[in-house]
Structure 1
Amino acid sequence: MPTVTASSLLGREVVDRSGERVGAVHDIVVRRRDDGGYEMAGFVVGRSALAGRFGYGATLAPPTPLHGLLAWLRRHERYLPWEDVADIGEEVIRASVASADLTPAWRAEPR
């Protein structure tokens, strides 16, 4: 399997199992393994990444006046777990699940 870099995945289109467009990859979620290494956990996908580019995601809460606005900006964001990735093609990432089955946001997984 050829080496794939994170930067080559960002912006790549994501489709669900029926070929329906889910959005583009806006962020890559990794988790630390017990041995100190890292592994891919999944992708944050959606129409826009503006709120995420401000740094506000599942682990960083926005200031109270901006909470509603940033939540609205992230309303189309979905989390595609690594185990639900069927194929990473040259231009498209295919999910093995329907877009309706993707959760609205990722959360840090308890260890």
Structure 2
Amino acid sequence: MPTIRVSDLLGRPVFDNHGDNLGKVQDVVVRHTPEGRYEVLGLIAGHSAVAGRFGYGGSLEPPTPLRPILHWLRRHERYLRWEGIEDLGDDAIRVSVESAELTREWREDTRG
């Protein structure tokens, strides 16, 4: 498999298996393996990355007063498991599932 840079993925449009637009890639979820490598677990797609840029993209719990606002800002985000990526085309990324099956949460993705 060719090397893929995070910068090549960020901002790329994402479509589900019916052609519905899921937004653009806002972030890449990785984990550090015991062997010292980094493994891509999935992508975060959506229409805005404001909450994630504040550090509240799923790994950090926001303070109580900000929780409803940040939840609202993240309402269009979807977590795309790497195994569900069907095509990393030059113009867009296509996933093998429909948008209704996708969730915002990726913290539970603890493979390995």
| Same fold (TM > 0.5) | yes
**What code does the residue aligned with 2:94 have?**
R
Any stretches of 5+ residues in structure 1 without a counterpart?
none
Residue pairs, 1:9-88, within 5 angstroms? 9-88=9-88
TM-score (structure 2 length as normaliser):
0.91
* Aligned counterpart, 2:103: 103
Q: CA shift at 1:108, angstroms?
A: 4.5
Any stretches of 5+ residues in structure 2 without a counterpart?
none
In the alignment, the residues of structure 1 paired with residue 50 and residue 105 of structure 2 have an alpha-carbon distance, to the nearest angstrom, of 15
Aligned-residue RMSD, C-alpha:
1.4
In the alignment, the residues of structure 1 paired with residue 57 and residue 86 of structure 2 have an alpha-carbon distance, to the nearest angstrom, of 25
SS in 2 for 1:61: coil
**What code does the residue aligned with 1:24 have?**
K
**What code does the residue aligned with 1:72 have?**
W
Encode CA deviations 1:16-57: one digit per residue, 9 max, x unaligned: 112111110000001122312111100000111111111112
What is the percentage of aligned positions where both structures have the same residue?
55
Q: CA shift at 1:58, angstroms?
A: 1.6
In the alignment of these two chains, the number of paired residues is: 111
In the alignment, the residues of structure 2 paired with residue 71 and residue 83 of structure 1 have an alpha-carbon distance, to the nearest angstrom, of 26
